[in-house]
């Protein structure tokens, strides 16, 4: 289920549109999550990764950034990651088409609150059981959702760790992994050459021995 959706300007975290399930409908108190979402949106900047998953207990925040606009959602942790990002990309495409030229100039929060109608319609299409059974039909550019950065919401909000810093750490780990694979490949190549050289020495020695044996 998708409990909360917010759209904000990345430059200053100004909320532009939002949609939230009522507490009675969701069976949860969503005020804390809404507060966390607003804090998170204020922490984003141009260096933040464009896609990220932030774990919050049995819930996950997902966000997608493009053209200075961030679309964020709160879903159950069991909600498929591919569907979550497909949902956000759909919202972003429609929102930017309608309001993209005005995003940089607005000053009032929730200026585009009427976009809630489209959010509700899109959310129903992704939550519908038939849509969930047909993941392959989602129009998303994601080639491998497993590569999307995953962090913990508490690390980002309470400890003040910037998402850009987390992304840098992830990049460093990826670089180290590539270096390890490169070193391993180099060592394997050296080992292969050594084995070939040893075999060549044995072969040449055998030829010399046979030649002298026949001459003898």
Which stretches does DSSP call E strand in the chain?
2-9, 15-20, 51-56, 59-66, 69-76, 149-152
Average pLDDT value for the chain: 78
Interval 62-86 mean pLDDT:
93
**Pair 147, 62 in one domain:** yes
Interval 58-71 mean pLDDT:
95
**Pair 93, 195 in one domain:** no
**Pair 152, 198 in one domain:** no
Split at pLDDT 50, 70, 90, the class of 90 is very high
Are 52 and 37 within 8 A, CB to CB?
no
Q: With 70 as the cut, is the pLDDT of residue 147 above it?
A: no
Distance (Å, rounded) from C-alpha 126 to C-alpha 121? Answer: 9
In angstroms, what CA-CA distances link 131 with 40, 68, 75, 139, 146?
29, 29, 16, 12, 21
**Pair 131, 31 in one domain:** yes
Q: Residue 138 belongs to what domain range?
A: 2-161
Residue carrying the six token digits 């429609």: 94
Number of domains in the chain: 2
Q: Tell me the CATH number at 32.
A: 3.30.450.50
Q: What's this model's pTM, rounded to 2 decimal places?
A: 0.69
pLDDT 10s digits, 156-188: 776 655 565 555 554 544 455 455 556 556 556
Split at pLDDT 50, 70, 90, the class of 151 is confident
Q: Residue 190 — φ and ψ, nearest 5°?
A: -60, -40
**Pair 130, 183 in one domain:** no
What is residue 177's predicted lDDT score, i.e. its pLDDT?
47
Q: Residue 61 — φ and ψ, nearest 5°?
A: -90, 135
């Amino acid at each position: 289920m998708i409990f909360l959706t917010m759209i904000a300007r990345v430059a200053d975290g100004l909320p532009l549109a939002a949609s939230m399930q009522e507490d009675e409908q969701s069976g949860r108190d969503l005020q804390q999550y809404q507060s966390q979402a607003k804090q998170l949106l204020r922490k984003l900047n141009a260096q933040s990764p464009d896609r990220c998953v932030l774990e919050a207990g049995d819930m996950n925040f997902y966000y997608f950034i493009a053209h200075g606009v961030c679309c964020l959602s709160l879903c159950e942790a069991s909600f498929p990651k591919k569907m979550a990002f497909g949902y956000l990309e759909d919202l972003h495409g429609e929102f930017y088409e309608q309001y993209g030229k005005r995003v940089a100039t607005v000053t009032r929060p929730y200026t585009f609150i009427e976009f809630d109608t489209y959010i509700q319609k899109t959310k129903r299409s992704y939550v519908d059981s038939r849509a969930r059974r047909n993941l392959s039909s989602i129009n998303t550019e994601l080639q491998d959702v497993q590569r999307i950065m995953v962090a913990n919401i508490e690390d980002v909000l309470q400890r003040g760790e910037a998402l850009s810093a987390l992304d840098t750490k992830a990049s460093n780990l990826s670089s180290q992994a590539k270096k390890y694979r490169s070193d391993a490949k180099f060592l394997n190549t050296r080992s292969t050459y050594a084995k070939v050289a040893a075999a060549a020495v044995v072969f040449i020695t055998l030829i010399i021995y046979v030649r002298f044996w026949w001459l003898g």
